[in-house]
């Protein structure tokens, strides 16, 4: 019955029980709508309804690739990053960028029930672009570690994975700030704690010296990032001159929503280590603490960094494709706040990559430090991510000349960074049917430029 539609097949098989006909029809639809391309993806369940906007795959691709996504079946629209057809809202320009460079790029979805089949199919590709938002595999009932291990095996087999699990883990870990501490973009008094004992001793010493920022490793959107000051402001003049007592009062602000709390040093340490207990007092934070839970191997860590007062004037987000800067966003917190996380009333201003205001930082970062970033993070064998960001905080005293300002890294992020030009294509309650057609022609053109540059970078790396 090859070539027949599901309806024609069903008509030809009249007499079968209705449930069997339904399953047969569904199976035929799945076979018929697997993403076209040089690699047979028909063994995988097809989640997408269509491939609107995707270019035709080259007949003789220079390299064969796939863009992997995850549809969270228990969540509205498949997650907060999906178009109405089931793809990520920005998958099309990324895949098309690969195609425009002469490579193929098929759109596929990972379902944990088909784990072995999925990775068997993936072995037929030369590269995989992973676009699964952190937490979505678990939310769909899968095992993130199992997925990551599968990607690691592909990487060992010579298949390029962007970004690989090791790159996501090491660039996203807060102790990455310690590993770049001696660069132009780092602060030498940046410390990492992996045990309660290290944290208690180290934090009491740094807190007695000057205001601090304490960052947990596993949070997102500012949860578990605390800006902390001594209530009495009785800081010592030299680092190590004294350590705080458990009874000293702290003023804390959490970066996820800029809410303020007051606790003793002892209560804060207890909350960070053991969460909400009788010893930690009453907390209004949305988080649960326990930032060191599981130890280093499980991602339990805290980073302790000097607080830079000029954070109130905002931070800079550098958007990069490989080693190319494509734009800068200045994110200014709402008046009275410190965090510029989205949804807190912060103001965003957009600049081009050649903005003279940030010339000194751009040159220090791109020309001096960037070649050393991956080796310093124990990722010397990995290329830079295709699409990633670096956030910077101004660490200079007020009044410093722009060309002499010191900006330090606050965070690296390569875990499914979105293309904001495509936001009109993602579904939410007021736009439940959002799709590729809802993106303006201007934004499509800008997204295409980004995708094409990603394709150029990917082709150059694979060609080596």
pLDDT in tens, 405-443: 889 998 999 989 999 999 999 999 999 999 999 999 999
Q: Name which of 30-34, 40-44, 209-213, 330-334 the model is least confident about.
A: 30-34
Residues 26-72 have pLDDT tens digits of 444 434 479 999 999 999 999 999 999 999 999 999 999 999 999 99
Closest CA to 151 of 120, 119, 121, 125: 119
Is residue 122's pLDDT more than 60? yes
State the pLDDT at residue 312: 78
Residues 264-295 have pLDDT tens digits of 999 999 999 999 999 999 999 999 999 999 99
State the pLDDT at residue 16: 60
Indicate the pTM of the whole model: 0.79
CA 309 to chain CA centroid, Å, is 26
State the pLDDT at residue 20: 59
First and final C-alpha spacing in the chain: 45
- How many CA atoms, within 13 angstroms, populate the side-chain half-sphere of residue 277? 14
Query: 277 — alpha (psi -120 to 50), left (phi > 0) or beta?
Result: beta
Collapsing DSSP states into helix, strand and coil, what is residue 125?
coil
Sheet holding 160-162, edge to edge: 104-109, 64-69, 127-130, 160-162
State the pLDDT at residue 5: 46
State the pLDDT at residue 310: 84
CA 411 to chain CA centroid, Å, is 11
HEC string of 445-456 equals: HHHHHHHHHHHH
Q: Name which of 57-61, 125-129, 159-163, 329-333 the model is least confident about.
A: 329-333
Collapsing DSSP states into helix, strand and coil, what is residue 167?
helix
State the pLDDT at residue 87: 97
CB proximity list for 154: less than 8 A, separation 6 or greater: 119, 122, 123, 128, 161
Residue, of 25 and 147, whose pLDDT is higher = 147
State the pLDDT at residue 185: 92
State the pLDDT at residue 17: 64
State the pLDDT at residue 8: 55
Is residue 138's pLDDT more than 50? yes
Rounded Cα–Cα distance for residues 242 and 264 (Å) = 17
- For 304, the token pair is 């302790």
State the pLDDT at residue 85: 95
Section 397-402 average pLDDT: 85
Share of the chain above pLDDT 90, in %: 75
């Amino acid at each position: 019955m090859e070539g027949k539609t599901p309806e024609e097949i069903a008509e030809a098989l009249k007499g079968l029980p209705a449930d069997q006909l339904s399953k047969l029809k569904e199976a035929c639809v799945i076979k018929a709508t697997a993403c076209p391309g040089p690699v047979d993806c028909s063994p995988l369940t097809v989640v997408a309804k269509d491939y609107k906007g995707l270019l035709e795959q080259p007949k003789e691709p220079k390299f064969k690739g796939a863009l992997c996504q995850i549809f969270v079946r228990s969540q509205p629209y498949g997650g907060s990053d999906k178009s109405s057809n089931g793809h990520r809202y920005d998958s099309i320009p990324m895949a098309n960028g690969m195609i425009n460079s002469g490579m193929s790029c098929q759109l596929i979805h990972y379902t944990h029930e088909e784990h072995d089949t999925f990775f068997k199919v993936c072995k037929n590709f030369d590269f995989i672009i992973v676009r699964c938002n952190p937490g979505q595999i678990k939310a769909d009932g899968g095992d993130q570690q199992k997925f990551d291990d599968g990607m690691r095996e592909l990487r060992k087999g010579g298949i390029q994975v962007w970004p690989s699990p090791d790159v996501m883990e090491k660039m996203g870990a807060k102790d990455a700030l310690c590993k770049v501490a001696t660069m132009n973009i780092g602060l030498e008094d940046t410390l990492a704690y992996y045990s309660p004992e290290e944290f208690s001793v180290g934090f009491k010493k740094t807190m007695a010296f000057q205001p601090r920022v304490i960052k947990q490793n596993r949070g997102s959107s500012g949860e578990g990032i605390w800006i902390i000051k001594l209530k009495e402001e009785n800081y010592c003049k030299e680092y190590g001159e004294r350590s705080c007592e458990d009874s000293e009062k702290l003023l804390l602000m959490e970066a996820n929503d800029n809410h303020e709390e007051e606790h003793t040093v002892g209560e804060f340490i207890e909350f960070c280590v053991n969460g909400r207990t009788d010893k930690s007092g009453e907390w209004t934070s949305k988080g649960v603490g326990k930032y060191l839970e599981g130890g280093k191997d499980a991602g339990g860590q805290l980073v302790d960094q000097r607080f830079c007062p000029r954070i109130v004037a905002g931070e800079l987000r550098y958007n990069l494709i490989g080693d190319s800067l494509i734009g800068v966003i200045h994110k200014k917190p709402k008046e009275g706040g410190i965090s510029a996380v989205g949804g807190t009333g912060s103001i965003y201003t957009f600049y081009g990559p050649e903005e003279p205001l940030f010339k000194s930082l751009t040159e220090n970062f791109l020309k001096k430090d960037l070649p050393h970033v991956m080796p310093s993070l124990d990722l010397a064998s990995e290329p830079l991510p295709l699409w990633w960001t670096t956030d910077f905080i101004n660490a200079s005293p007020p009044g410093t000349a722009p060309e002499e300002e010191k900006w330090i890294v606050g965070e690296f992020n390569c875990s499914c960074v979105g293309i904001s030009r495509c936001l009109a294509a993602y579904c939410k309650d007021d736009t439940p049917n959002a799709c590729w057609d809802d993106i303006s022609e201007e934004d499509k053109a800008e997204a295409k430029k980004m995708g094409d540059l990603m394709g150029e970078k990917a082709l150059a790396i694979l060609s080596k």
